[in-house]
Amino acid sequence: MIQIISGGVCAAQGFSAAGVHCGIRRNKSKKDLALIYSDVPAQAAAVYTANRVQGVPIAVTRRHLADGIARAVICNSGNANTCNADGEIVAEQMCALTAKELGLDADDVAVASTGVIGQPLDLTPIAAGLPTLVAALSEDGGADAADAIMTTDTRRKEIAVEFTLGGKICHLGGMAKGSGMIHPNMATMLVFITTDVHIPSHVLQIALHDDCKTSFNMVSVDGDTSTNDTVLVLANGEAGNAPVAFDSADYAIFREALQTVTVYLCREIARDGEGATRLLTCQVAGAADVLTARKAAKAVICSSLVKAAGFGADANWGRVLCALGYGVPELEPDNVDVSFRSAAGEITVCIAGRGIAFDEDVAKEILVQPEVTIAVSLGGGKHTAEAWGCDLTYDYVKINGNYRT
């Protein structure tokens, strides 16, 4: 039984966090440096972007997590520290300075950066801000940390759950940033998850890898896979449970807790997509296999035309068929049904690949809601998938027409 509780990365025992404004950004009211800290060494696992152009913080974090152990994560917003000549030195220095302030080895610190690509990241404000950041570490600091990693995000994204393993109360919580350049591929935006569960890093890595297939890999805001996507989990074992073994009953519970947190964060990222006015979910059923189901759901959620119709609350289901048609080479168009669903009701608009008469006013009422589901049945099997995205709006263009200035 997975119960949602308040909090984020500090919900698990033995974790503290902080977020401050150090001066990477000019706007002093926007926090730009975050820290997560575990009282004891934690088992660590991470997945990263599949983009061939990778932020150097990923290279550094990969090295530092090679032994499966970490105790802290330092993360700045406002600059991605990617495609810079001195980027790797800067990322290593961020870890070294953080480690020094916390009395750790630099190897036990993970680093992440998010923001504009290709502009040098100045260490000066980070070095100057670190003492304040470390002094601010607190079990109540999760929200500040979640604020500090935001870029074009308009809302803080955090969640935590409670569950039991072998009679021990366990916690798992996370925070995310992500709003544009969101189309994860084997990884995602920046997501940091902490848990007090005792789980070896190699088991944790498998759990995270499998989780991403039905969570972060099923989100798209704009089809652009970022260079800095990272999902990182720290598990410090403070719950005192017996170590979670792969494929055990405890593993299944842990996976469910992890999926609860990651799917929540996915939906929050999609809902807060740059310029978005509504969360679009595509639920696919009737697929011959799970990969086909996922391909279909992603194709619909990624279509610029479906997204623009979402903005206009237009029941333009032909665009859903069109996206399925180019996204799913195995599609049998004559078997496809399409409905729209929201808090205002449900309406079927296409049966067996053909339009049916429907009430446009009813459809409009369903489509103007803040959360809309596009339900597709492929009519060729029993597999399902779900993907999340958002509408394409004037504000997406506004935000991205001149992001650097």
Q: Which residues of 126-144 are buried (b: 16+ CB within 10 A; e: fewer)?
A: beebbeebbebbeeebbbb
Rounded to whole angstroms, the Cα distance separating 255 from 234 reads 15
Q: Is 335 in the site for a copy of itself (CB under 8 A)?
A: no
Q: Is 289 in the site for a copy of itself (CB under 8 A)?
A: no
Q: Is 23 in the site for a copy of itself (CB under 8 A)?
A: no
Q: Is 254 in the site for a copy of itself (CB under 8 A)?
A: no
Pairing of strands 345-351, 354-355: antiparallel
Cβ-based nearer residue to a copy of itself, 20 or 349: 349
Q: Is 340 in the site for a copy of itself (CB under 8 A)?
A: no
Which residues 6+ apart lie within 8 Å of 28 measured at CB? 21
Over the window 47 to 76, marking each residue x when it contacts a copy of itself by CB under 8 A and - when it does not, the resulting string is ---xxxxx----------------------
Q: Which is catalytic among the residues 151, 152, 188, 260?
A: 188
16-20-21 Cα angle (round to 5): 165
Is the CA virtual torsion 346, 347, 351, 354 positive or negative? negative
* Identified binder of a copy of itself from the candidate list 118, 131, 345, 370, rule CB under 8 A: 118
Dmax over CA atoms of the chain, in Å, equals: 69
Rounded to whole angstroms, the Cα distance separating 395 from 52 reads 29
Number of residues that bind a copy of itself (CB under 8 A): 67
Find the distance separating the first CA and the last CA of the chain, reported in whole Å.
48
Phi and psi, residue 293, nearest 5°: -60, -45
Specify whether 188 is catalytic: yes
Cβ-based nearer residue to a copy of itself, 10 or 331: 331
Token pair of 319 as six digits: 């665009």
Spatial contact of 266 and 273, defined as CB atoms under 8 Å apart: no
Spatial contact of 132 and 68, defined as CB atoms under 8 Å apart: no
* Identified binder of a copy of itself from the candidate list 106, 218, 276, 321, rule CB under 8 A: 321
For residue 86, the minimal CB distance to a copy of itself (Å) is 9
For residue 51, the minimal CB distance to a copy of itself (Å) is 4
Q: Is 28 in the site for a copy of itself (CB under 8 A)?
A: no
Q: Is 240 in the site for a copy of itself (CB under 8 A)?
A: no
* Identified binder of a copy of itself from the candidate list 117, 206, 288, 362, rule CB under 8 A: 117
Spatial contact of 264 and 214, defined as CB atoms under 8 Å apart: no
Q: What part of residues 205-234 is at the interface with a copy of itself (CB under 8 A)?
A: 222-227
Cβ-based nearer residue to a copy of itself, 285 or 299: 299
Rounded to whole angstroms, the Cα distance separating 98 from 317 reads 52
Q: Is 311 in the site for a copy of itself (CB under 8 A)?
A: yes
Rounded to whole angstroms, the Cα distance separating 264 from 345 reads 23
For residue 192, the minimal CB distance to a copy of itself (Å) is 22
For residue 52, the minimal CB distance to a copy of itself (Å) is 4
Q: What part of residues 359-388 is at the interface with a copy of itself (CB under 8 A)?
A: none
Q: Is 325 in the site for a copy of itself (CB under 8 A)?
A: yes
Burial (0-12, 13-18, 19+ Cβ within 10 Å), 201: buried
For residue 403, the minimal CB distance to a copy of itself (Å) is 7
Interacting stretch for a copy of itself, rule CB under 8 A, among 14-22, 46-54, 99-107, 200-208? Answer: 46-54
Token pair of 367 as six digits: 């489509």
Interacting stretch for a copy of itself, rule CB under 8 A, among 104-112, 133-141, 191-199, 301-309? Answer: 301-309
Neighbours of 116 (CB within 10 A): 14
For residue 88, the minimal CB distance to a copy of itself (Å) is 12
Please give the positions annotated as active site.
188
Give residues in contact with a copy of itself (CB under 8 A): 50-54, 80, 82-85, 116-120, 180-181, 183, 185, 222-227, 302-305, 308-309, 311-312, 314, 316-319, 321-326, 328-333, 350, 353-355, 392-394, 396-405
